[in-house]
Chains A and B, each alone.
Chain A
Amino acid sequence: MIRSLVLAALLLPTLASASSPPEDTVVSARRSPPSVEQVPFEAFFRMGALWVQDPGLDLVSETDALPRAEFGVSYAPWSSALSFELSYGIASTSAKSFEIIQSTMILHQFQVGAIGYLPLTGGLRARGRAGGGFELAHLELEVEGGPTYSDTVPLLALEATAGLEWNVPLALPSTLFSLVMDVGYGFRPLEAGFDGLERRVGDDAPKRVRDLPVDAGALDLSGWVLRFGLSLRR
């Protein structure tokens, strides 16, 4: 699904150019493509992964990575060299453990960030991003045909990335399409301590003997970050 979206977005400029008038057609007025200075607003979608080094991730993942999808908006209020972004990201991984337990972790990320740009050549810009935010890490252990145990813990995150951005004009007026790739590191000063794991019961379930929460352990979600995706700027 995500790959289809990316491909569609990539093809947009080509399609737009294909539907434009031929070169020898007389056009009374023709707009020049916008520059990044003229399009301060950005809506973006990123894919990527968090590469977690803590082996505790093995409970919920068959690899060391949490695939991540992220979307958000940014705005460059003063200059195209600096913008501020607001984003929501969701990273998740799941694995089957002990043959009948489906173990899942979902990381909800609410981030703010600042991005500095350095023009290179053509539509290419180097970018450096520093961000931070609030996260919710959700752990779930679902026994096949049995109960589900879950816990959600809050986290703080700091993230720094560097990357490249390639801006391509679209046929739409005052709109730029951008391809972005960032690489960096996400630092979480606190480990995700899943010490409140409890069986999930429905609201209409009979009152239970008081449950003692289970401490499943702590997980350091710090690690390398890879982001790539696309943006539309106006």
Chain B
Amino acid sequence: MRTLRCLFAVLALSSALSCGDRGERWEKPLVVEGPVVAEDKLLFLDRTLARLIAVDDRGSVQSHAVPPSPHGLTAHGSEALFVVKAPTSQHLITLDPSSGTRVSIALPRDFDRIHVSPSGSVAVLTFDSRPNRGPLVRNLNEIGLVDRQARWAPRLVSLSTGALAPRQLLFAPGEAFAAILLDDAVALLEIGPSPRLLQIPLGPQGSARLRPRKGVFAPGGDRLFLLTEGSNDVVTIDVIHTEAAFDATVNFLFLPGAGTLHDIAVVEGLEDGVVALWDQDAAFLDGGGDQGRTLATPVPLGVQRILDLGGALLFFHGSPGAPAQLSAAIAAWAPLEDRFGSDRLPGRLLAPPRSSGASVMLPHMGDQGEAAITLSTVEKEDIRLRLRQKPFALSGRPIATEVDGEGTFFVALQTRRPKTSDPYAFTGAVVSLDPTTEKTEGLVLDEEIGLFGLVGASVFAEHPALLGDLTLVPRASLHRNAARRLDGFFATGMMEETR
């Protein structure tokens, strides 16, 4: 019996030695935000293990430990920005994943959306109204204003609107102020250490409430054009911004007899007004309301989006995914030369078109149920515009599109998995089209594509997977033997993050 007692004592000793505190975070689900493109890197924020994962365009992965409870990932240039929450404080963190340098600025609230100005000098922070995001309770009318050079302390600005949350935030050119689009209102927030706030209610017009859906600043920064639900007019807000005054006037620009307003754009060569697209009309409207300067043209039914091709040349197309009668029409318009041309795709538009110079790449269905991309090039003839169509058949269904800085188009496809008899086995593929040489390339990937885009000199396809799954392909060489797959890369550095 004594021997047995000794043995049990040894086992007890062994159990005692086995004690250790693993930590709660291993018991929680792995939640990762991203990817966000930061120049040549894809950024992912691991909220569970508190680390930033950066993948460069050649597939090199770096993992940086960050303070606990990170959220709200965004990027500016090569830097990652996110908010971290400590029990009694919260900070805006700027982290350069290349050098690992980190800047921390204390915040007045635990915001979860970061809007960085184009120059990067300031950031406006807001709350996300979506459920299961951010703190349990938050005042969606509170906004944070942060000088990223920390020349002045962050400011907390309180709106007094009935809106649930800011829908969109736009920085005015010059960054003197920002426009915050809310339900039924627009707020203009002056950028500076003592920010002035101007709330512009978009009250009922007749019985309709005006909900801003899209906003575009004129290049001068003193005029904001709005596309709103509830009105077929373009709402114009002229801003008076001086040291003594911060005020605005609201005007409505319209085309008599026009139907439903679908899109607005401020285009190159026509900066003093706005181009608006209605059901069957398009018009350039003078920003000051001078109707004598209005330029208008009828358009085919179904065009709902404006693409600016540059040089005061516009391309109109339908809404991707809409039925063929509402998405197959295309048109081009040169308002200053009063030249117009239109055509029709054989089937419905499947993914957003992309433009490069005077060429537009349109992914669509064919009339036999097959998918294709059509390269539509706008050519100016004596009295009209001609849309020269060049279709390219696809062995798959387009799901996303991109265009790089050189003007090459890229299309992500869902295609039949090769070497299988299962008709429902699909995988991803990527094709490219050079609009100048009309050279095409493509490769079939190993998995279906969840997210597609460009990063540095590569295209990336993210495949849905718990531990992360990416395929990177050099844009200049769209071949399988040049492709690299990073499967399970969220595990990078996982063993070292706890040190």
Measured CB to CB, the residues of A under 8 A from B are 3, 6-7, 10, 47-49, 51, 54-56, 58-59, 61-65, 67, 95, 97-101, 141, 143, 146-147, 149, 179, 181, 194, 197-199, 206, 208-212, 214-219, 224, 226, 228
Contact = CB atoms under 8 A, between A and B. Distances in A.
A217 B484 CA distance: 21
Interface string B372-407: 000000000000000000000000000000000000
B322 to A, nearest CB: 34
B429 to A, nearest CB: 12
Contact of A218 (B10, B22, B495): B495
Contacts of A198: 487-488
B492 interface: yes
B439 interface: no
A101 B115 CA distance: 35
A216 B492 contact: yes
A118 to B, nearest CB: 20
15 contacts: A55-B499, A56-B495, A59-B26, A59-B498, A63-B22, A65-B20, A100-B466, A141-B488, A197-B491, A209-B483, A214-B61, A214-B491, A215-B61, A216-B493, A219-B495
A176 to B, nearest CB: 15
B157 interface: no
B423 interface: no
Interface in B7-57: 7, 10-11, 13-14, 17-20, 22-23, 26-30, 48
Interface string B445-489: 110000000000000000001110001000000001101111111
Contacts of A224: 17
Contacts of B471: 209
A97, A149, A209, A219 interface centre (most CB from chain B within 10 Å): A209
A211 B486 CA distance: 6
A197 B471 CA distance: 16
Contacts of B10: 181, 228
B488 A6 contact: no
A210 B484 contact: yes
Interface of B: 3-4, 6-7, 10-11, 13-14, 17-20, 22-23, 26-30, 48, 59, 61, 418-419, 445-446, 465-467, 471, 480-481, 483-489, 491-499
Given A58-B22, A95-B22, A146 B466 contact: yes
A98 B492 contact: no
A143 B29 CA distance: 12
Contacts of B418: 206
Nearest to B17: A51
B488 A95 contact: no
A197 B495 contact: no
Given A208-B446, A214-B491, 18 more contacts: A7-B4, A51-B17, A58-B22, A59-B494, A99-B27, A100-B29, A147-B465, A149-B467, A197-B491, A206-B446, A209-B446, A214-B487, A215-B493, A216-B493, A217-B493, A217-B495, A226-B13, A228-B10
A51 to B, nearest CB: 5
Q: Is the interface of B mostly helix, strand, loop or mixed?
A: loop
Contact of B486 (A181, A212, A228): A212
A149, A199, A216, A218 interface centre (most CB from chain B within 10 Å): A216
B229 to A, nearest CB: 41
B29 A99 contact: yes
B48 A98 contact: yes
B467 A143 contact: yes
Given A208-B446, A209-B485, A214-B488, A63 B14 contact: no
Given A99-B29, A212-B485, A214-B61, A146 B465 contact: yes
A199 B488 contact: yes
B446 A215 contact: no
A10 B7 contact: yes
Given A97-B26, A143-B466, A217 B496 contact: yes
Nearest to B472: A212
Contacts of B20: 61-65
Contacts of A49: 14, 17-18
A223 B498 CA distance: 18
Given A143-B467, A149-B491, A209 B445 contact: yes
A94 B18 CA distance: 13
A59 B495 contact: yes
Contacts of A3: 11
Nearest to A199: B487
B60 to A, nearest CB: 8
Contacts of B22: 58, 61-63, 95
A198 B499 CA distance: 23
A208 B203 CA distance: 58
A58 B27 CA distance: 11
B492 A214 contact: yes
Given A10-B7, A64-B19, A149 B14 contact: no
Contacts of B48: 98
B65 to A, nearest CB: 11
A78 B24 CA distance: 55
B44 to A, nearest CB: 13
B26 A197 contact: no
Nearest to A144: B466
B7, B11, B465, B480 interface centre (most CB from chain A within 10 Å): B7
Listed from nearest, the 5 A-B pairs whose CB atoms lie closest are A217-B495, A64-B20, A56-B495, A65-B18, A217-B496
A179 B7 CA distance: 9
Contacts of A147: 465, 467, 487-488
Given A95-B22, A211-B485, A226 B14 contact: yes
Contact of B26 (A67, A95, A209, A215): A95
A141 B494 CA distance: 11
B461 to A, nearest CB: 10
Nearest to B420: A206
Contacts of B4: 7, 10
A5 to B, nearest CB: 12
A166 B153 CA distance: 73
A72 to B, nearest CB: 19
Nearest to A10: B3
